[in-house]
Amino acid sequence: MVQHTATSVVTIERYIIEQERLHPEATGELSGILYDVALAAKMIASKVRRAGLADILGSADAENVQGEIQQKLDVFANETLIRAMDHGGRLCAMASEEEPGIIQIPDNFRCGKYVLLFDPLDGSSNIDVNVPVGTIFSVMRKITRGTRGEMEDMLQPGRRQVAAGYIIYGSSTMLVYTTGQGAHGFTLDPSIGEFLLSHPDIRIPAVGRYLSVNDSYEQFWEEPVKALMRRYRGLDGERKPLNVRYVGSLVADIHRNLLGGGVFAYPANQKSPKGKLRLLYEANPLSFIVEQAGGAATNGTNRILDIYPTDLHQRTPLYIGGVDEVEQATAMLGGALSNVGA
Ligand code: P6P
């Protein structure tokens, strides 16, 4: 593997190829998936960047599977990812936060050996107020026989992911991904339309700086969660207080903590007894990335990547970030970080 520094001019395509060479058995299919996601990301970024200008703002009034009002950009991002990914011959099916069931590959296209799950535009309710939003994706190998993807291919524990990543449409557009060889960040240079390596081998700082939590739900939390948040804030004298930073846009909150250190928490509460965030295409990919950067992620009792899913859109509590902060969560919420098979 060529050793790059943040000043090397390396496109994401070249970096993907260099990483592929680490796996002599690689066929290039996974690399192709990552290329195509990067292309879709550029197309979505182009639209998001102009959201304030085009008439694309405002809700499309179409009810999506989540029962939320879809923003037109949600629809565009979802369709862009599907169209960019469905003909490459590397996927046997896809799943999206915006679609109730799995998305089959059209009959006229070849099926491949991977499945792709994604949240096409997370945090889209922030679009109209210019808060960063993001795309999150997860790739796993097909495990069922036959050509076409099945629900069983989607319902695998997160530790079976072969790749995961996110794109944050913020002050700059960044793509962060992992294939299990560390977490790497690329910044889009819009003048040339290339994602360039800007954050090689990201490591989450061991000493956390931030606590990201929406404490307007405090009255709905269980007592151990309230005690944990007091601990994070230094109110019980057991640790240095964390600074509270909460954007309310998952990718933005996770990205800041990945680079700055700390913990993001979306606990279960009486209104959302299983948590709000989605396991398969939000918690799993983000947990893979954070673990690859030296961090950890739990639902309070089990390592996120060890959870066996039962439903495509199932929700999970999420505590994700530096190992110390996540271990405090498992200690105070009665769990462990590696209950394999949970
Ligand atoms: P709350 C945005 O709607 C989202 O799905 C995530 O991006 C974000 O982390 C979370 O919900 C915010 O939820 O309940 O704090 O507004």
| pLDDT at residue number 1 | 66
342 pLDDT more than 50: no
What digits encode the pLDDT tens for the residues 111-170? 999 999 999 999 988 888 889 999 999 999 999 999 999 999 999 999 999 999 999 999
| Rounded Cα–Cα distance for residues 32 and 229 (Å) | 42
> Ligand 1: does its nearest atom lie under 6 Å from the Cβ of 208?
no
pTM of the entire structure? Answer: 0.93
| Mean pLDDT within 59-77 | 70
Cα 111 to ligand 1 centroid, rounded to whole Å: 34
Give the atom of ligand 1 at the shortest distance from the alpha carbon of 251. Answer: 7
Which residues neighbour 161 within 8 Å (Cβ) at sequence distance 6 or greater? 138, 139, 140, 284, 285, 288, 305
Give which of 9, 13, 10 is closest to 31, Cα–Cα: 13
> Ligand 1: does its nearest atom lie under 6 Å from the Cβ of 214?
yes
B/e letters for 60-94, b = 16+ CB within 10 Å, e = fewer, are eeeebeeeeebbbbbbbbbebbbebbbebebbbbb
71 pLDDT more than 80: no
Cα 303 to ligand 1 centroid, rounded to whole Å: 21
| pLDDT at residue number 60 | 67
Q: Residue 328, CB half-sphere, CA atoms under 13 Å: how many?
A: 24
Which residues neighbour 155 within 8 Å (Cβ) at sequence distance 6 or greater? 280, 308, 309, 310, 311, 312
What digits encode the pLDDT tens for the residues 235-252? 999 999 999 999 999 999
* pLDDT category of residue 49 using cuts at 50, 70 and 90: confident
Best of 129, 136, 213, 266 to mutate for ligand 1, by most ligand atoms within 8 A of CB? 266
SS3 per-residue string spanning the chain: CCCCCCCCCCEHHHHHHHHHCCCCCCCCHHHHHHHHHHHHHHHHHHHHHCCCCCCCCCEEEEECCCCCEEEHHHHHHHHHHHHHHCCCCCEEEEEECCCCCCEECCCCCCCCCEEEEEEEEECHHHHHHCCCEEEEEEEEECCCCCCCCCHHHHCCCHHHEEEEEEEEECCCEEEEEECCCCEEEEEEECCCCEEEEEECCCCCCCCCCEEECCHHHHHHCCHHHHHHHHHHCCCCCCCCCCEECCCCCHHHHHHHHHHHCEEEEECCCCCCCCCCEEHHHHHHHHHHHHHHCCCEEECCCCEHHHCCCCCCCCEECEEEECHHHHHHHHHHHCCCCCCCCC
What digits encode the pLDDT tens for the residues 256-297? 999 999 999 999 999 999 999 999 999 999 999 999 999 999
Cβ(266)–Cβ(301) under 8 Å?
no
B/e letters for 4-35, b = 16+ CB within 10 Å, e = fewer, are beeeeebbbbbbbeebbeeeeeeeeebbbbbb
The percentage of residues in the chain with a pLDDT greater than 90, rounded to a whole number, is 81
Cα 97 to ligand 1 centroid, rounded to whole Å: 14
| pLDDT at residue number 329 | 97
| pLDDT at residue number 37 | 98
Nearest alpha carbon, ligand 1 atom 10: 248
| Rounded Cα–Cα distance for residues 342 and 156 (Å) | 12
> Ligand 1: does its nearest atom lie under 6 Å from the Cβ of 267?
no
331 pLDDT more than 70: yes
Nearest alpha carbon, ligand 1 atom 12: 248
Cβ(104)–Cβ(91) under 8 Å?
no
Nearest alpha carbon, ligand 1 atom 5: 123
| pLDDT at residue number 334 | 85
Average pLDDT, the chain: 92
Nearest alpha carbon, ligand 1 atom 2: 123
At residue 166's C-alpha, the angle toward residues 180 and 106, to 5°, is 90
> Ligand 1: does its nearest atom lie under 6 Å from the Cβ of 173?
no
Cα 280 to ligand 1 centroid, rounded to whole Å: 16
| pLDDT at residue number 66 | 60
76 pLDDT more than 80: yes
> Ligand 1: does its nearest atom lie under 6 Å from the Cβ of 126?
no
> Ligand 1: does its nearest atom lie under 6 Å from the Cβ of 36?
no
The percentage of residues in the chain with a pLDDT greater than 70, rounded to a whole number, is 91
Among 70-74, 181-185, 218-222, whose mean pLDDT is lowest? Answer: 70-74
Instruction: Set out the domains of the chain in order of their start, with CATH numbers.
Output: 12-199 (3.30.540.10), 210-333 (3.40.190.80)
> Ligand 1: does its nearest atom lie under 6 Å from the Cβ of 250?
yes
338 pLDDT more than 50: no
| Mean pLDDT within 183-190 | 97
Residues in the chain: 342
Best of 59, 215, 220, 276 to mutate for ligand 1, by most ligand atoms within 8 A of CB? 276
| pLDDT at residue number 322 | 98
| pLDDT at residue number 157 | 98
